[in-house]
Amino acid sequence: MAFGETKIRNYEERRDRAQVEDLERRCEVGPAERVFLFTDTMGDAICRIRNSPMYKMLVAEVDNQLVGVIRGSIKVVTVRKPPKDLAKVGYVLGLRVLSLYRRRGIGLKLVRRLEEWFVDNQVDYAYMATEKDNEASVKLFVDKLGYVKFRTPAILVNPVRRRVHLSSNIEIAKLKVEEAELLYREIHGVDGVLLARHRQDTEKQAELGDMGSLSARGEMGRGWGGWESRE
């Protein structure tokens, strides 16, 4: 089947809203054997980026039909690498291409156009998040665009339908730096680099500190036996 030329342009809400909603529904596909995450925009295509300091949404058109979308945002973050303490980063998200139009370079064109916007706004780094077994995404961003793995995020869940019963006999107390680090490492899996930064910030600024909740039996989380002393 022959297709016309691909046109990349800015998203226009009145013109594109209905087509974007339809495209998102048609791309609502995930692994059948396990749970996957899907963001329902509820009719607001830019809801995921609207509150960012700077954002942009692009669409791909072929023969006057919307076949792909991508979103991006820009913000300033703190880094620990000298000589700069701050860096401007661009987040790539919400890349979608209709299945019939895949493997035609449309996704690549969308990302590169978004990266041009990043460059125009003096962005230092671009980043995105994907599942490790999403082969198409990994091939695009790693093999073709040169992205490298930076970190594996943790996704946290909470049983809201059946809430965990909490005892009314709970005490709140201030943690020593060593106690806070133990909790962060054993319960939350925080790495040594972040713990070192936490110690540095806490020791330098008296107004900073860590608080913990303790049951009447002196237990807090897995492997936690309570405090030796309390402040």
* Cα maximum dimension of the chain: 75
Q: Give the pLDDT score at 225.
A: 47
Single-letter code of the amino acid located at 177: V
CATH fold group of domain 6-144: Aminopeptidase (3.40.630)
The answer to whether the pTM exceeds 0.85 is no
Residue 72, pLDDT score: 96
Q: What local confidence, expressed as pLDDT, does residue 27 receive?
A: 81
Is the dihedral angle over the CA atoms 157, 160, 164, 167 positive or is it negative?
Answer: positive
- The ranges of the chain annotated as CATH 3.40.630.30 are 6-144
Q: Exposed, middle or buried: residue 93 (CB in 10 Å: 0-12, 13-18, 19+)?
A: middle
As a three-state string, the secondary structure of the chain is CCCCCEEEEECCHHHHHHHHHHHHHHCCCCCCCCCCCCCCCCCCCCCCCCCCCEEEEEEEEECCEEEEEEEEEEEEEECCCCCCCEEEEEEEEEEEECHHHCCCCHHHHHHHHHHHHHHHCCCCEEEECCCCCCHHHHHHHHHHCCCCCCCCCCCCCCCCCCCCCCCCCEEEEEECHHHHHHHHHHCCCCCHHHHHHHHHHHHHCCCCCEEEEEECCCCCCCCCCCCCCCC
Closest CA to 179 of 213, 136, 142, 151: 213
d(CA 141, CA 46) in angstroms, rounded, equals: 22
pLDDT-flagged residues of the chain (< 70): 1-2, 28-42, 81-84, 161-167, 184-231
pLDDT at 193: 45
At residue 116, the pLDDT reads: 97
